[in-house]
Structure 1
Amino acid sequence: MKLLGATECDKVKNCLSTNVSLARIDEGKVQDPARIGKDKGSRQGNWFTINDRIIYDWQAYAGRYNPKTEQAHLVSIRDFERFLAGRSFEKVTPKVAGAYRDHLVKLRVLSKETGGLSNSTVRHRASHLAAFFKWLRGQSGYRRLSASIPDYFALPRSASAQPLSAEQRAFPSIEEAWRMVDLMPHETIAQRRDRAMVAFAFVCGLRAGALTSLRLKHLDLENKVVVQDAGDMRAKNDKSYHAAWFPRTDDFRNVFLEWARELKLLGFQAQDAVFPEIKDLGPRLPSAPAVEILASGRALQTAFSRASEPFGNRYTPHSARHTLKALGARICRTHEERKAWSMNLGHADEQITERHYGKMSAMRSQTIIEALNSDEVFTKEEQEMIIDFYENRFVRGTDEYRIARKLAERRERARGGDGITE
């Protein structure tokens, strides 16, 4: 072993992080020194640079976007540049923009293996280019571009319409979701983490990025609220908001609260991740550095896939949000309740609702969700099941009997009764 100075240590770390030979530290003292050069075979196709200066200026403007959004726009711009065969953007005419639009429409019907693009990619590329040329017309040297160019990127209605996708729209009912969670194994701490992740997705409705970047400080367990802090989490569109735990999720909550208690017993503190890597799931010392969040949502995706597999489905983490939206449609009775439900999912709300029912504060939204949690609200189907239970129309011991009995007991408790007795 050898003690290294700060400079030597930095050199070694740089070699390790870039996967470069350690001989690079002192190339002159080895027989076969590391070499740095250009690999002429690494680039495929032509590489155009005539528009690099204006694209660089656009990147400064695009710093307002999320890095992933900026990257997606840049891919679209470079693709259009390849379509132009490297010509300057100042030479673009409405006819050229229309030709690229037709090019995208043709790619839409091709298979992926033959170079085709998905409907979503085609729509996004067209919108990205329209936005880029709106910005470009305001830049020095490009003000002579036709003002109609962005309009020529608009896709025909048949191409811009988003087709229905049964696979993308598939989601479980809230009852099916609980059966899915209930059957998940939980013997090991890794299994309990995965089970808690899936359960909490149906409690709070957070997207996968935010859910997997939760820290204990984002949870208010007493008031049943989770805080999506865009400054400290992977939040879509950098949006921060408070989300009350959704009604009808008591069983899911119990699974998650058990996990939260287990983390507390391990010594996890406010700055620690709620769903950390498996290697970090162990006893913690008060002086230990904070437990980091998951690097990606892969663990959550895998957990959902394994949980839904026994039911013949492959639900995604986003399906939990669809489940909660469907639940809200069942139990929300007024426009105000539906709007509060939507806000609790982090949605800005539908335009029609905004126009006719005005703005709603986050506090008002949370108040309504809390009221829905405390009130026993039954759907029409549930009311019919309660009536059928009292009329003895269910066979004792069946799933329908147990569900109807549970609903009847809840109704009795809400009315101040002592519940159902045999």
Structure 2
Amino acid sequence: MSNMEGGRMMAEYNPNNEIAKKQYEEALLHGKYRDPKTVKAVWNSINSFEAFTGHIDFKDVSTEHVKAFKESLEHEKNSAGELLSLSTIRSTLGNLRELFEWLATHPKFIKKVDGRITQYFRLSNNANRAARASKEKTPPTLEELETTLKAMPSKTDIEKRDRAMFAFVILTCIRDDALVSLKRKDVDADRRIIWQDPRHVRTKRRKGILTKFLGKPLPLAEEIVMDWLKHLDEVFDIKPNDPLFPKTLTRNNPETMAFEVQGLSREHYANSGQVRDIFRAAFKAVGLGYYNPHLFRNTIVKWALKNMSQFEFMALSQNIGHEHVMTTYNPYGKLSADEQIEAIEKIGAKMPELQDVSIDELVAEIVRRGKK
């Protein structure tokens, strides 16, 4: 957006707003325990709104400013040249609504900010429903995961690490950001247990999570992980505080004046971006589209729905790091359209002897079985 309006220079920042934003950041990080990445997304929304309004004081924001901003978002395009999705617009408005709700109740701003404008930071009901209706992401099948895993090379240390990371996510359903922050001491190889220590493992909301290897869905994954742990201990001579999956070591070659790969370092990856690149390459090598690591949870949960008792499923839910079992059921256990149809068609298949009986006979049989 231009920094000129009506021939006059528009401010690039507002000191009063900056003070409020700094206090709001503290409230998000330390009051609501928001992840820094989430706070960064909030910041982007606020900066976008400030740029649109010319950095006017938050106390001077009116309903007209909000309505105009919403209209501008409907015509704004992303980096790919496409109009912003409804979900992106909904998220942006939600971030701003929370900011102004906070301002409207803060002792320093309560008499200065019009709290009535918060309701304007919303989409229409229909648009809101459409924004929440996300496109179904199909998870990989166990067969696809096994095919990919078998095809991954394992001659060098780097190849061994890459294959072990892929297997580890299948085995534990761990989040990729937690994966790259694990230390060797976090894994008990004898008991096949991981303690995701929130003091250094980047778990969601910094929860401590006890995770047991789940080898039944794909035994090959457990074999590969156990081989990797043995390789680390016996060949790589890893120390307890060294990363479980060290990043690639690159050094400058004075002869070629270029950086070259020279095995593994003793350092953690800074983030999980490299993990996704490794997984993307692994799937591409066997002719499959990319499945992000988080989708592996869906694969394992769907396997569990078919093969576990309620008691065992509860254990799996805790193993993943969920406090409530419905958190596991709802987002990760949702069936695809084909799975839904298949399950419905199989209803009654376990009672073939009752398929062709009358309603009266069926009711009588149900009553009889209920008395057993």
Instruction: Give the TM-score category using the shorter length.
Output: 0.7 to 0.9
CA shift in 2, pair 1:235/1:45, >3 Å = farther
Deviations 1:153-176 (A, max 9, x none): 12224433334435xx13211222
- Return the offset for 1:141: 4.0
Mapped pair 1:301 → 2:270: no
Distance 1:46 1:116 in 2: 27
Letter in 1 for 2:54: A
The answer for unaligned runs of 5 or more in structure 2 is 1-8, 251-260, 330-342, 344-372
Aligned counterpart, 2:21: 55
Letter in 1 for 2:219: D
Aligned counterpart, 1:24: none
2:66 to 90, 94, 97: 97
Tell me, yes or no, if the aligned pair for 1:94 and 1:146 is still in contact at 8 Å.
Answer: no
Aligned counterpart, 1:270: 240
Distance 2:327 2:96 in 1: 29
Distance 2:224 2:126 in 1: 46
RMSD: 3.1
Aligned counterpart, 2:226: 257
TM-score, with structure 2 as normaliser: 0.72
CA shift in 2, pair 1:344/1:103, >3 Å = farther
Aligned-pair identity in percent equals: 25
Mapped pair 1:322 → 2:298: yes
- Return the offset for 1:131: 1.0
Aligned counterpart, 1:172: 140
- Return the offset for 1:242: 0.6
2:104 to 137, 152, 155: 137
- Return the offset for 1:98: 3.7
- Return the offset for 1:275: 0.8
Letter in 2 for 1:299: Q
Tell me, yes or no, if the aligned pair for 1:93 and 1:145 is still in contact at 8 Å.
Answer: no
Letter in 2 for 1:62: L
2:199 to 231, 234, 240: 231
- Return the offset for 1:81: 1.3
Tell me, yes or no, if the aligned pair for 1:273 and 1:293 is still in contact at 8 Å.
Answer: yes
CA shift in 2, pair 1:45/1:85, >3 Å = closer
Deviations 1:129-172 (A, max 9, x none): 11111110123244253333222212224433334435xx1321
Distance 2:63 2:117 in 1: 5
Distance 1:80 1:47 in 2: 12
Deviations 1:33-81 (A, max 9, x none): xxxxxxxxxxx98612242222233233233232222222122112111
Tell me, yes or no, if the aligned pair for 1:101 and 1:152 is still in contact at 8 Å.
Answer: no
Distance 1:326 1:157 in 2: 32
1:85 to 31, 36, 54: 54
- Return the offset for 1:113: 4.4
CA shift in 2, pair 1:328/1:292, >3 Å = same
Distance 2:226 2:303 in 1: 22
Aligned counterpart, 2:313: 338
CA shift in 2, pair 1:226/1:353, >3 Å = closer
Deviations 1:223-259 (A, max 9, x none): 2211112211222222221112223232100001101
- Specify the SS of the correspondent of 2:105: coil
Letter in 2 for 1:251: L
Letter in 1 for 2:307: I
1:182 to 145, 150, 159: 150
Distance 1:188 1:58 in 2: 48
Letter in 2 for 1:275: F
Tell me, yes or no, if the aligned pair for 1:90 and 1:145 is still in contact at 8 Å.
Answer: yes
CA shift in 2, pair 1:353/1:120, >3 Å = closer
Distance 2:327 2:223 in 1: 37
Higher strand share: 2
Letter in 2 for 1:70: V
- How is 1:127-166 mapped onto 2 (pairs within 5 angstroms)? 127-139=94-106, 140-160=108-128, 161-165=131-135
- Return the offset for 1:127: 1.4
Aligned counterpart, 1:199: 167
- Return the offset for 1:351: 5.7
CA shift in 2, pair 1:300/1:283, >3 Å = closer
CA shift in 2, pair 1:294/1:114, >3 Å = closer
Letter in 2 for 1:221: A
- Return the offset for 1:307: 1.6
Tell me, yes or no, if the aligned pair for 2:198 and 2:208 is still in contact at 8 Å.
Answer: yes
Distance 2:205 2:164 in 1: 26
Aligned counterpart, 1:222: 190
Flag the structure with more relative contact order, 1 or 2, with Cα contacts below 8 A and sequence separation at least 6: 2
Aligned length: 303
Letter in 2 for 1:104: L
